């Protein structure tokens, strides 16, 4: 039985990866941070199948202990301060977790078991102000946020430990991936959650920032399979994982309303742009400049050719299916919330 240690296990990707590895017969260890309230987050439903270890990416001693307890064959480093907007408010914490934290865990591997294979959660955010379209493994980086800059350090130190010490380290340069377990601060889940609340009459309208921003959106369940495949190869390498399609935030919102049976039409421009319900004439989407970022990544679209050819990876969930799943799940969750509130 293979053993895997996952940092960030209770996050979106950690949960889908845990399910995948458990299905494959792995013994799964996961790192949690100590909080005042015990919270297993996205792995609550499978918590009895996981060995939890309390540790923190900023504390190398705790990571060495975790490696000693788990003795893993594979480490997946998914832990991060992962919300780009927060990285301007907490630039130092972001760097300590997302940049130096990577050195911490690589050092822990070097000390405890240098044969252990390592996956680093790199990101398309490193392409930032894009230097080529589409972006692939050879596209130069130009990060646009403290998060992107910190992740770039994590990316290079992962490569450096491979070249310096011969560790089996891989970076997955993953484009945006979403799903029913996505945090509600990210734009896709914010949209599907608010669409559900509008549909059920709890909220009037949705407020967004830059609706022109374009992203290459896939589903997390497909992307964690690529992480695992990277660690099963004969040689360590870095791979872009993406769909090759790009859509604006406006397109995402339109599709989400569609899936809830609401037709929305956009008009106006800049901060005056609105989205109107074609049937009722009600304004359902407005722009709020508080969601603008100090520097924006305008457009991302990845080329997954290398991952498809070398790993045999292929996504299975289309954009349409993903939005449909997210909207349907949020409608169910909001209905549950309403039932619970009515019983109080």
Binding residues (CB under 6 A) for ligand GDD: these are: 82, 84-85, 123-125, 175-176, 185-188, 190, 208-210, 213, 215, 249, 291, 293, 296-297, 300
Neighbours of 202 (CB within 10 A): 13
Q: 299: which DSSP letter?
A: B
Which residues inside 174-233 make contact with ligand NAP, applying CB under 6 A?
A: 174, 176-177, 183
DSSP summary character for residue 272: G
Binding mask 39-78 for ligand NAP (x = CB under 6 A): --x--------------xxx-------------------x
Shortest reach from residue 168's CB to ligand NAP, in Å: 19
């619970």: which residue's tokens? Answer: 340
Residue 210 binds which of ligand GDD, ligand NAP, none (CB < 5-8 A, kind-dependent): ligand GDD
Q: Round to whole Å and give the CA distance between 170 and 147.
A: 20
Q: Tell me which of 4, 5, 13, 161 binds ligand NAP, using CB under 6 A.
A: 13
Catalytic residue among 19, 74, 125, 180: 125
Sole window of 68-76, 169-177, 189-197, 270-278 interacting with ligand NAP (rule: CB under 6 A): 169-177
Query: Phi and psi for 129 in degrees, rounded to 5?
Result: -80, 95
- In this structure, are strands 239-241 and 247-248 parallel, antiparallel, or unpaired? unpaired
Contact (Cβ atoms closer than 8 angstroms) between residue 97 and residue 80: yes
Listing DSSP states for 36-63 in one string gives: SS---GGGGGGGGGEEEEE--TT-HHHH
Distance CA 15, CA 76 (A): 12
**What whole-number distance in Å separates Cα of residue 319 and Cα of residue 182?**
15
- CB nearer to ligand GDD: pick between 185 and 320: 185
Q: Which two tokens stand for residue 297?
A: 């990544």
Catalytic residue among 74, 94, 119, 123: 123
The CB-of-14 to ligand NAP minimum distance in angstroms stands at 5
Catalytic, 332? Answer: no
Shorter beta-carbon distance to ligand NAP: residue 174 or 196: 174
171 binds ligand NAP per the rule CB under 6 A: no
- Report 93-122 residues binding ligand NAP (CB under 6 A): 97, 121
To ligand GDD, the closest distance from the beta carbon of 195 in angstroms equals: 13
**What are 74's strand-pairing partners?**
4, 117
Residue-level length of the chain: 344
Nearer to ligand NAP, 284 or 300 (CB): 300
Catalogue the E-assigned strands of 226-271: 239-241, 247-248, 264-267
Smallest separation (angstroms) from ligand GDD to the CB of 5: 21
Query: Is 125 known to be catalytic?
Result: yes
Closest to 275 measured CA to CA, from 246, 248, 245:
248
d(CA 78, CA 73): 16
The residue (of 62 and 123) whose beta carbon lies closer to ligand GDD is: 123
Footprint on this chain of ligand NAP (rule: CB under 6 A):
7-8, 10-14, 31, 33, 41, 56-58, 78-82, 97, 121, 123, 174, 176-177, 183
**Residues with a known catalytic role:** 123, 125, 147
């Amino acid at each position: 039985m293979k053993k895997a240690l996952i940092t960030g296990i209770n996050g979106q990707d950690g949960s889908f990866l845990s399910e995948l590895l458990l299905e494959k017969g792995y013994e799964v260890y996961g790192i949690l941070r100590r909080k005042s309230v015990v919270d297993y987050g996205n792995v609550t439903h499978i918590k009895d199948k996981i060995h939890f270890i309390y540790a923190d990416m900023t504390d190398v001693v705790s990571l060495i202990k975790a490696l000693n307890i788990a003795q893993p064959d594979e480490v997946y480093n998914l832990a991060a301060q992962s919300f780009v907007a927060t990285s301007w408010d907490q630039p130092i914490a972001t760097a300590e977790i997302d940049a130096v934290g990577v050195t911490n865990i690589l050092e822990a591997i070097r000390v405890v078991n240098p044969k252990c294979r390592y996956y680093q959660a790199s990101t398309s955010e490193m392409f930032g102000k894009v230097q080529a379209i589409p972006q692939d493994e050879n596209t130069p980086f130009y990060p646009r946020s403290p998060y992107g800059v910190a992740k770039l350090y994590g990316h290079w130190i992962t490569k450096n430990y491979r070249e310096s010490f011969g560790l089996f380290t891989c970076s997955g340069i993953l484009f945006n991936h979403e799903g029913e377990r996505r945090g509600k601060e990210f734009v896709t889940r914010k949209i599907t959650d608010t669409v559900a609340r509008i549909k059920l009459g709890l909220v009037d309208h949705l407020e967004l920032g830059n609706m022109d921003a374009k992203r290459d959106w896939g589903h997390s369940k497909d992307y964690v399979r690529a992480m695992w495949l990277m660690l099963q190869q004969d040689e360590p390498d870095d791979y872009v994982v993406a769909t090759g399609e790009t859509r604006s935030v406006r397109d995402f919102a339109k599709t989400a309303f569609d899936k809830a049976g609401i037709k929305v039409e956009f008009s106006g421009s800049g901060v005056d742009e609105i989205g109107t319900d074609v049937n009722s004439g009600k304004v359902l989407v407005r722009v709020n400049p508080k969601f603008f970022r100090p520097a924006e990544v305008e457009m991302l679209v990845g080329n997954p050719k290398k991952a498809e050819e070398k790993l045999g990876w292929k996504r299975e969930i289309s954009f349409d299916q993903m939005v449909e799943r997210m909207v349907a799940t949020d409608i169910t969750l909001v209905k549950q919330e309403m039932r619970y509130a009515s019983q109080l």
